Chain A
Amino acid sequence: MSITLQEQPTTDRGFWNDTGKTGIGSWIFSTDHKRIGLLYFYSVLGFFLVGVVLGLLLRLELMAPGRDLMSAQTYNALFTVHGVVMIFLFIIPGIPGAFGNMVMPIQIGAADVSFPRLNLFSWWLYVIGTVLVLLSLFTGGGAPDTGWTFYVPFSARTGTNVSLALFGVFILGFSSILTGLNFVTTIHRLRAEGMTWSRIPLFTWSLYATAWVQILATPILGITLVLVIAERMLGTGLFDAARGGDPIMFQHLFWIYSHPAVYIMILPAMGIISEIIPVFSRKPIFGYKMIAFSSLAIAAAGSLVWGHHMFTSGMSDTAVLVFSFLTFIVAIPSAIKVFNWVSTLYRGSISLDPPMLFALTFILLFSIGGLTGLILGAAATDVHVHDTYFVVGHFHYVMFGGTGFAFFAAMHYWLPKFYGRTYKTRPAVIAWGLMFVGFNLLYFSMKVLGMQGMPRRYYDYLPEFANLNMVATVGSWILAIGLVLMLVNLFKGLFKGAPFTGNPWGGATLEWSTPTPPPTLNFITEPVVTHGPYDYTALKHDVREADSGVTP
């Protein structure tokens, strides 16, 4: 592999200009994976911010006991929309759609994904699904109030516009399936010469495992949602016990998808961390094979544990036992990853640049989230904390502290590569500090509240919970300030900041060997891969060779 030593970003700014096409049409109808990645990036980031605002409103209502600023019905709608937006519009499409699209084809030395048009179609399906979900807020009986889980019998009976929201999510599911299909095919078929399976970067490996989950599990969500729509429109009675149906069957169907879906959320995030940790420790990743393998193991085993959401729903005791046991098995491959990251850090030469700070934070917050997950996975303890704020604290630690922070890490790690400009370090570090403090105030309080018995999805609470709720709300403000600072600093940097060229952090994966920003076809000459993705010794050798070859 040859290394281009670049002093300045390419003058035509690579894929931004080299096709000669400009204007909105060159973006929303582009089949270039990098442009589609950016389309995804801005869409999901936009909805993330919408979700954050909704979350802040929830916290505002909960600041003090009693009714503060909204009715119970509004609150119900708000947490439902907050959940739906965060899950289906931000976190599931987030990393694969944005960074998967932008980075994965370059990492394996391809010019694009296997089906570029299908890729564009995925994004359009995302847009269509989104529009339908948003429409459901203002039409029919108004915003859904079921919670993002759409449990029957309530979802089959409520007068709010659940049907349209379900249909929107149904469409979003197809978007996810097509992305998965595209990625599996791309990773199988389009790897550059020398990119053997054991040289595939771990981010790509994680996307590969995720893609299979997307393909195999998402159709079940689709069918389930259609069944609820049928229940509402045609009165099929499938989930209605009075007519021989079974409401618990809905929960099975829903979680058969939605538990694996948490791996759609977390696996790509783990992939990002596996890229960043070795680069900023200046040390090859510890246990490459085990990390790659554990992605597949998590995807496979994680598909068989959905029942842990149903311990208190009236499911049979045998099922409780089986699903509780299996849940503990998934902890093993997850822990394998954490131990491997920590072993990579051990005696590394660690530099705390912003991407690394976010990555290290991921490890901590994900571990807290994961370990509290075991409290929920053990049937006996789950009975106590089920449907309390303990659960809300747990999944924000995993989804926000985990995937959210990995998303921020990826933004600081990869976006400069695609813009050719970079952000200032100090504000990024300050923003990180604020977010870290705010985050823990906000969600740790929730965990304690849950232990004390405060139920989730209520717009009011008993006076004894007042203090910690105040702490949580103040935490949410600190978090929000950090978030704004981070985004302002990042985007100011990307649009107007100092030039970003070459390979300043010394990554050995292929994306760091292309010009910055990459040209539309990614590589100037087809790459031939001669070493592994974390082989920094070989990289130095490459650079030295390139150095001596450069004539001044």
Chain B
Amino acid sequence: MAKKSKSKPVDRRHFLKTAAASAALVASKPGAARAQQPAPEPRNASAPILARPAAAPAAVVDEAVTIDRPGSDFMVDVIKSLGFEHMFGVPANTYMSLQESIVNYGRNKDPEFILATNEDLAAAMAHGYAKVAGKPALIGCHGTVGAQHATMGVYDAFCDRVPMVMILGNIFDAAKRGTGKVAWVHSAQDAAALVRDMTKWDDAPHSLPHFAESMVRAYKIAMTPPMMPVALVLDVDLQEEEVPKGANLHIPKLGTMVPPAADSGAVAELAKLLVAAEHPVIVVDRVARTPEAIKHLVELAETLQAAVIDRKGRMNFPTRHPLEQTRSRMGLADADVVLGIEVIDFAGVRSQRQGSKRISITANDLFSRSNYTDYLKFAEVDLAIPADGEATLPPLVEAVKRLITDDRRRFFQDRGAKLAAAHKEVFDRYPQQAVVGWNDSPISTARVTAELWPLIKNEDWSLVADLSFFQDWPLKLWNFDRHYQFIGGPGGYGIGYGAPAAVGAAVANKKYGRISINIQQDGDLMMGPGSLWTAANHHLPLLTVMHNNQGFHNECMEAQRLALRRGRDATRANIGNRLIEPVIDYAKMAESMGMHGEGPINDPKDLGPALKRAMEVVKRGEPALVDTRTQPR
């Protein structure tokens, strides 16, 4: 049995309230309090679930002996101690014992099992969830066929530095696999080998104490920046067999986790460079792990009155802040100091100015895998600070403040005024750009964006979509200032991430009563239409607006380019790239999975009313989809 805590149990309501107040990113010490949380009620899986009839039974009937406490019940105790809220999974007998324990022993709450229709989708759901919730979810799958499906989703999360804990069911003991085929083809000597290149750590525990330790370790490793997926292979026997009587099982304490901040000498050196610079530019990408990051980054930028370029791997900086210079004439080109914080492709971020200095702060310098080259081109820098970007912001702000003289402050004020003017210029130009193709059919991506804004701007909204193929229009026309309003992209550019990641993010948003908005590429949805079913099954307030350009358009352009460079026939770029024969009816697809569906909308005049109707459904707490036939980009 799990040792009961002597410390005061934490009031769960109170915890949720505090978590909500801190907007729930990166719970860095979930275990500290909850590892010792009292076990859930009822303690015993054989406790009555359905009310028994009042009348006494007529005769004593011989009943089979049941397993009162399978190993997987203890696993649930450990999982609960870490504060997991969800397991996204596809059911499979190699981990059904754990699933059953979650559902019955754990009362399907914290974690709650969420059914996905493909393990790839389960992984992408956990990916989207983690970026909003700030903590990992579990994904459940067969260690063989399930893991094989899951790899794409896990790879995206790995590239995107997002934590999740994979549970891979397996039958270790060959003597238990019998003579049939299935158990043999669903077992592996080393099930985690398949995902080892895209996870930070894995283990295959041999006993329940081993499991407890490995689960807590898995959580700790996944949540230490750079965050990444981890995997645990769970033996069927370990899950199903009864916990030995008198077993003194212990749940290790996780304790408070402190992310690795930079060395103080390096921070002082960097502060000097920044304060002395004429035009320092702060480039950010995957900085924000918690809601605090925006606050600290705003403080750093304002203290220095320095330009910020947000490459939006996360929601790092308010889009309408006057120092936001992502597309401004006062951006990188003339920078004399370029500070890259958690920038994915820092090699590609360069100032044109002779002698400019480049400094990087990134946790990616602390850990990497070899096989997949997600570490990208080597970035030449003058000062490399291997540390977590967000954790380094507060000491950097303090160090900068200590160095500022009145002279510098006056200089900064002038610089800030110029930056504000440059920022305004950019945003003043957007209506002129957005009107391009305003009345065209297919509908322009700018028009879709503009039609959506009045419907959401007074709601608590979260955009749970990647915008790479949408000309970033929402970032130009809407106002983003909260950490959950944007979640970045897939990381590994694996198409098929969008729809399920939106569902996962919507699961996390729902807890806070937020409405999730997804702009959904058609090709991406076709890789995992089952995502829609999970959204309906889970009653998610999720508005899906199709970016339906009728195909894998990116590849269509590529096919056309290649044919033309070879002096061939460009009219055949349809073949193998477009989704037009037959045309797909996404509204019907949505309806078939139990959600409100509208469209196809071809005429831009029909779009506003359709979106409005769909939003009414979403505000009632259900998902809706509007199929919008859009321009290619």
Chain A bound to chain B: no
Using a CB–CB cutoff of 8 Å, the interface residues on chain A facing chain B are none
Using a CB–CB cutoff of 8 Å, the interface residues on chain B facing chain A are none
